[in-house]
A and B are shown apart, each in its own frame.
Chain A
């Protein structure tokens, strides 16, 4: 009797509320009028929490610029940022939240590992993704039509590294990564290039255990192979320690880092003496592009902070999305995807944009930086 009473009460409550909007029997929530929402899955908490706000600001800057010029197709743009905490489960929940909010496109994605599971979520909802930072090959390996990367990929970075190493006349190159997906990708690809006959040779390919302090074992290993050039493809926390310990061990050759280590803290951790003269492969950032000083000062004024490493890519992602929506004449997912594929020469920070058939940048836009007086400056634009 009691059980039946409970059951009936529950059912009554449920059915009476089910008619309200979002239940199975409710209506749809697609938006055709009002502001165009752009969704952004970025890390705002967790291990990469400091990257998220810079990306959000970069995107917001683009949105404000476009809105000031009248918006897109007469509608204003609006940013909707959700925290993915660089965790797959949180990222999927955030992606679903964005889909439920009715975003027209996704312009977020930093951690490849967290972005990868969100692909089917956006795919099911037919929402195009223009990913500003995450760039592991798995993202495009599934050949999903709606995924576009506006950051240089691992193989483009490896190619840039190869070009510089060859230009510099290195004989034996040691590669070190931290066994995370993006870092390992670059190192392995560079190793493959080095293994090809002619040009510099590979001294060794080694991996460190991220989060540790003592890398003496790796240092010993790497130095044993007598390299004259070392390329570190991981992040600045380990990179700084590694560089310092290598120099302390007496390594006198050249050192290069990938874009994950391009951060002022690398210099701090390794010390000025050790870092001076260190190279870096990096996508174009405001400080290395001629004429970008206005952009930087505009950013500083607006947000009272320096732009971060991916502020420009996020800025560009929004602009690309807006351009595509304009070309497509609306927010219909398939049309926008077609428009994205058709973009030819739209100017973004890394050069004129044209997507490859795999939906990556034709021109990776990687340049070589060098550390001078504790700061990263442009060394070679690798044209």
Chain B
């Protein structure tokens, strides 16, 4: 466990994610203004950052920082809901398909493949478009709908892993004892799948952020419901980037927020990857001492390095 925490990627990922979780939790509470309120009705141009508005204002004089903080909760919440729901679906379908086999497997796999191939965003656009902006789905519902398009990838991976586990001895012994199928799935197989489930969860949250932001940007989701995507919708609407005085403060914060949140999750994923697949970790000749002894930083494949001093290191535990 300590080894896991020592990985710089893991730490960076954890820090980033922690920051965003905090934003989601207390964002709306610490926002200086309401995101809808216009500070003035006479100015028609977005204002750059100032003392009163730390991140400047939009064209209609709304505070960007407040929008960022309030929108943050919505964005992060929807992504997390999507992640949890999709992972639950993936685990349910994937493990069942892998364990039960036969026609159940064929059916579930076919279902997963269909959802995998169907382009998600266009489908979601049609769904949300038809739902209509008057219906105003809440964050939870949005998350679940997004999850319906995002479970297939994780399901496939879990199914593959379950298939290889099913053949192993400990499952057979559980069967012989007479444990029921669902118990075997839940208590024998599932614990071994934790790293994959974790990776799948993180990946789906990233997918959720991206998709939700895209949907908000398109205006398919109610544009008065604040989220980072909505901020970008309004920024693009006002041509913030095309304006001669580029209004950086308007579109950079929400875009960076999405990117950094996603990056944090991706880094966490790398960390888990490296833990599970040790080959991805740096090979064991790193370190200053190795450098000083004359060993190459990256040994050329096919050319085993030879210690220049040709002095054998005997009894390494006694080495200075």
Q: Do A and B come from one complex?
A: no
